[in-house]
Amino acid sequence: MFNTKNRKLGKYVAQPNTELTIKGTTLQYFDEKQSVCKTLRKPEQQLKEFGKAGKVVLRKFLGNIKATETKMNGRLNEHIVLLKVS
């Protein structure tokens, strides 16, 4: 997911043996330890690379961004765009 207001690119990971569900504006059943986001410095360029990347590259994409990881809270709003679901 990408937050257009504060330029944060994040990844939600489902808990083992469950799937992600949405109730209202809250994402449920995500693993709080593995779900992280980072702030992008050049979002136009980095999102272009994200769109062209394949499955293998996407696994390490967030790890290659040099920024501090912050935990996800599971809340969605009008500024969030879902980029990929797998």
Helix (H, G, I), strand (E, B) or coil at 28: strand
- pTM of structure: 0.88
Beta-carbon contacts of 23 under 8 Å, excluding residues fewer than 6 positions away, are none
Per-residue pLDDT, 86: 80
Per-residue pLDDT, 85: 87
Domain locations in the chain as residue ranges = 2-81
Name residue, tokens 């390490």: 60
Which two tokens mark 64? Answer: 């290659």
Q: pLDDT tens string for the chain (86 positions)?
A: 999 999 999 999 999 999 999 999 999 999 999 999 999 999 999 999 999 999 999 999 999 999 999 999 999 999 999 999 88
Asked whether the beta carbons of 44 and 77 are under 8 A apart, the reply is no
Asked whether the beta carbons of 18 and 29 are under 8 A apart, the reply is yes
